[in-house]
């Protein structure tokens, strides 16, 4: 498994977030909260948020308007659909890649605390939908460090597990994260047989190349 500390995703500054007022981060022992109105800036607490409001006010409104406009645009809908199709077509490769990288077959408890994060970059000009996105990073990531989405992810895992008929199956989450902050991530539950064996022996790099070249396993 790769060293987690060297694989911090930078999505929305995840892991690199700082208070918009005082600049403190998680490493300074503060818990950062998102501006609930615009969801763009973060604060270490109510004091900093209030102090920053006079300068944040206008930016906050512009952030909200941009978000609403883009969320409703046809381009946005197309992007979301394209990511869904891309994820579906590459799902087997992403499954084997994550199975190997997470090590859940050797230790099923990994699935309780770790998801597999695949960061992708959009290729809007690409006409081949298998190549519509490019993997820029793929690594195990602690669920606790996902931030505000963590409870939702845990709930989704529980729901899928509760539906399992066979007791020897486990579930972990694949988190496909686009570089465009307005395109929501895809969260896909993947089932594995506890104590099973890896079905193939491509290296992780080979599997990423296969996806990025638009090939299938």
State the residues that interact with Zn ion by CB under 5 A. Answer: 19, 21-22, 35, 37-38, 44, 48, 60
Supply the minimum distance, in Å, between the C-beta of residue 58 and Zn ion: 10
Supply the minimum distance, in Å, between the C-beta of residue 29 and Zn ion: 12
The rounded distance, in Å, linking the Cα atoms of 39 and 98 is 30
Sequence-ordered alpha helix ranges (H) in the chain: 46-71, 74-102, 110-113, 150-162, 204-212
Residue with token string 């022992």: 29
The rounded distance, in Å, linking the Cα atoms of 100 and 16 is 28
Query: Which one, 39 or 92, has the nearer CB to Zn ion?
Result: 39
Q: Comparing C-alpha atoms, which of 186, 180, 162 is closest to residue 67?
A: 180
83 φψ region: left (φ > 0), alpha (ψ -120 to 50), beta (else)? alpha
Supply the minimum distance, in Å, between the C-beta of residue 130 and Zn ion: 38
Query: Which one, 16 or 88, has the nearer CB to Zn ion?
Result: 16
Residue with token string 């820029």: 136
Query: Which one, 1 or 37, has the nearer CB to Zn ion?
Result: 37
Query: Which one, 48 or 146, has the nearer CB to Zn ion?
Result: 48
Supply the minimum distance, in Å, between the C-beta of residue 63 and Zn ion: 6
């Amino acid at each position: 498994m790769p060293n987690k500390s060297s694989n911090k995703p930078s999505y929305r500054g995840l892991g690199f977030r700082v208070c918009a007022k005082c600049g403190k981060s998680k490493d300074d022992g503060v818990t950062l909260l998102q501006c609930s109105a615009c969801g763009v800036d973060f604060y270490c607490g109510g004091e900093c948020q209030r102090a920053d409001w006079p300068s944040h006010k206008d930016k906050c409104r512009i952030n909200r308007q941009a978000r609403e406009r883009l969320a409703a645009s046809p381009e946005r809908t197309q992007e979301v659909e394209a990511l869904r199709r891309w994820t579906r077509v590459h799902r087997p490769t992403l499954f084997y890649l994550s199975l190997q990288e997470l090590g859940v077959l050797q230790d099923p408890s990994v699935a309780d605390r770790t998801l597999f994060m695949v960061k992708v970059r959009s290729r809007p000009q690409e006409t081949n939908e298998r190549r519509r996105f490019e993997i820029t990073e793929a690594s195990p990531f602690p669920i606790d460090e996902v931030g505000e989405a963590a409870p939702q992810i845990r709930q989704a895992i529980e729901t899928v597990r509760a539906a399992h008929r066979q007791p020897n199956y486990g579930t972990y989450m694949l988190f496909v994260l686009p570089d465009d902050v307005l395109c929501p991530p895809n969260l896909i539950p993947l089932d594995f047989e506890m104590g099973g064996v890896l079905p193939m022996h491509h290296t992780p790099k080979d599997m990423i190349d296969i996806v990025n070249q638009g090939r299938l396993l």
